[in-house]
Chain A
Amino acid sequence: MGVSLPTVPTGEASFLTTRLDVVVNWARQNSMWPMPFGTACCAIEMMATAATKYDLARFGMERMSFSPRQADLLICAGRVAYKMAPVLRRIWDQMPQPKWSISMGACASSGGVFDVYSMVQGIDTIIPVDVYVPGCPPRPEGLIYGILMIHEKVKGESLADADLREEDPSRVGVPNLAAGVIEELARPYGNSTTQNRVSGLVDTAALSRPSDRKP
């Protein structure tokens, strides 16, 4: 956030700061403006969450911000293709602090069933993620639970914590994780690529032809 607030010499937040934290966090938590990054069927559930029955307006979130500049919660709902990755990253970089993000559904969180050449294996390789909502797609209750977890996270934040909202301009447009970590995350754990009916659902790595892959 970059706001320097008075702290007592011990390094502990002062009485003023902590009281202000409560007010600021209360305000942020109850008027989140989501940036809906809906790319697939999860977006339908997200729309259902916003519609009358589940009614996001109860949480002060009825104002979907289609401009990243006026948003503070990115909800990535659905699979993200590599071609879409720079767009997602750009939108995240354009959102002003404070900002949070929800990865909604199996595909956004891990690539899901799309362990293929064109699909991002989890958006946490592209942007930092605060809450992962599992499901394929998650029910609106699931998304609301994720949003409430974001609320809990917001409640625990402090303006005096300089690390919390720190942003490094040199990180703009680069992967969120180191190359080795991405490799580790994207390894096929029981995915269709290395498992098949012939091999008795045992990981043989025979049919993935590793020789095809360049480092």
Chain B
Amino acid sequence: MADRNLEDAVAGLEAGPASPEAEEPQSGESADASSHPSVAALRATFGDAVLHHAIMAGDEHVVRLKLDRVVEMLTWLKDDPAQRYDLLADLTAVDWGGGRPLDLVYQLWSIPHRRALRVKASVSNADPVADTVSGLWKTADWLEREVWDMYGIRFRGHPDMRRILMPEGYAEGHPLRKDFPLRGRFSRAEQTRRALSIPVEEHYSERELSVIDEVLEHHRGREQGGGAG
């Protein structure tokens, strides 16, 4: 009996939890499109690219969009005067486990219209690639780096696609994937050895260092100007 439970638990661990949208119809009528003007407008403008609409936890509207058109639609959501989702509150991902596609999640907020919208897109588990939105929202730069670091989703066109939380030379994978063992893939001794050989000074990118150079240059210029005057 105990063994059966254990086997079930291991199987459950491998498969991961079910997506909350899994039981709902993936196409057809919207949950209640009239309650959210942006969803209705999205359907009117982009038609089939809106795959699914659901309301979660009472009043949180979630739309699932086609991955290859998601940047185009996010650009529209940001720039259209009736939408104006000018704040990207969060960009993250979900691994449901069992080799299922990853969810890429954009949490949007419109400051002028005081409206929230959650946008999701499915990314292939085997070769997770998406387009960057760092050109739309500056904050997406670091958020996408975090998603790359934790889930291994690469972002095409990202200006600085490096790890952000784990050290640069981290070789054990992407820790928030469901198939990542809790204590990491290497032994503790190996992890300690690798950690201590991290070159602490090489933490910053060329771009970040160039910013420091610019600031120093600026101050040097001011000092010289002050000395002459």
Interface residues of A (CB under 8 A from B): 82-83, 85-87, 89-90, 115-118, 120-121, 125-126, 173-175, 179-180, 182-183, 185-186, 188, 193, 196, 198-200, 204, 206-209, 212-215
- A173's closest neighbor in chain B, by CB? B196
Distance of A198 Cα from B2 Cα, bound (Å): 7
Cβ distance A155 to chain B, nearest Cβ, rounded Å:
33
Rounded to whole angstroms, the CA-CA distance of A200 and B187 in the bound complex is 27
A207 touching B192 by the CB < 8 A rule?
no
Does B196 lie within 8 Å of A186, measured CB to CB?
no
Residue of B nearest to A196 (CB): B9
B191 touches A82 (CB 8 A): yes
B46 located at the interface, meaning its Cβ lies under 8 Å from any Cβ of chain A in the complex: no
> Is B172 engaged at the interface, CB distance under 8 Å to the other chain?
yes
Q: List 14 A-B contacts (CB under 8 A).
A: A82-B167, A83-B165, A83-B195, A87-B200, A115-B183, A116-B182, A117-B182, A125-B192, A126-B196, A179-B190, A183-B189, A206-B6, A214-B186, A214-B187
Contact partner, A208, options B2, B180, B183, B195, Cβ 8 Å:
B183
**A-contact 0/1 string along B176-189, CB 8 Å cutoff:** 00001111111111
Set of chain A residues within 8 Å of B216, measured between Cβ atoms: none
- CB of B187 within 8 A of CB of A117, answer no
Residue with the greatest number of chain B CB neighbours at <10 A, chosen from A90, A121, A125, A193: A125
Which residues of B lie under 8 Å from residue A208 when comparing CB positions?
A: 181-183
Q: Is B205 an interface residue (CB 8 A)?
A: no
> Is the CB–CB distance between A85 and B193 below 8 Å?
no
Q: Is the beta-carbon distance between B192 and A193 smaller than 8 angstroms?
A: no
Given contacts A118-B175, A206-B10, contact A85 B187 (CB under 8 A): no
Partner of B189, one of A83, A179, A188, A212: A179
The residues of A that contact B34 with a CB separation of less than 8 Å are none
Contact A126 B192 (CB under 8 A): yes
Q: Which 7 A-B pairs have the closest CB atoms?
A: A117-B184, A179-B189, A186-B188, A82-B195, A212-B181, A85-B195, A182-B189
Cross-interface CB contact of B195 among A86, A199, A214, cutoff 8 Å: A86
* Residues of A close to B192: CB separation below 8 A: 82, 85, 120, 125-126, 175, 182
Among A116, A118, A179, A207: residue with most chain B CB under 10 A: A118
Contact B189 A116 (CB under 8 A): no
Residues of B within 8 A of A214 (CB): 185-187, 190
User: Which residues from chain A contact B215 at a C-beta distance below 8 Å?
Assistant: none
Q: Is the CB of A204 within 8 A of B172?
A: no
The answer to whether B181 and A198 touch across the interface, beta carbons within 8 angstroms, is: no
From B6, B165, B193, B196, give the contact of A198 (CB < 8 A).
B6
Interface residues of B in 135-186 (CB under 8 A from A): 165-167, 172, 175, 180-186
Tell me the bound Cα distance from A180 to B166 in angstroms: 25
Given known contacts A198-B5, A206-B6, A214-B186, A85 and B196 CB-to-CB distance under 8 angstroms? yes
Q: How far is the CA of A111 from the CA of B196 in the complex (A)?
A: 17
Q: Check: B198 CB closer than 8 A to any chain A CB.
A: yes
Supposing A85-B196, A196-B9, A198-B5 touch, asked if A117 and B183 sit within 8 A by C-beta, the answer is yes
**Interface check B82, CB cutoff 8 A:** no
Q: How far is the CA of A90 from the CA of B187 in the complex (A)?
A: 23
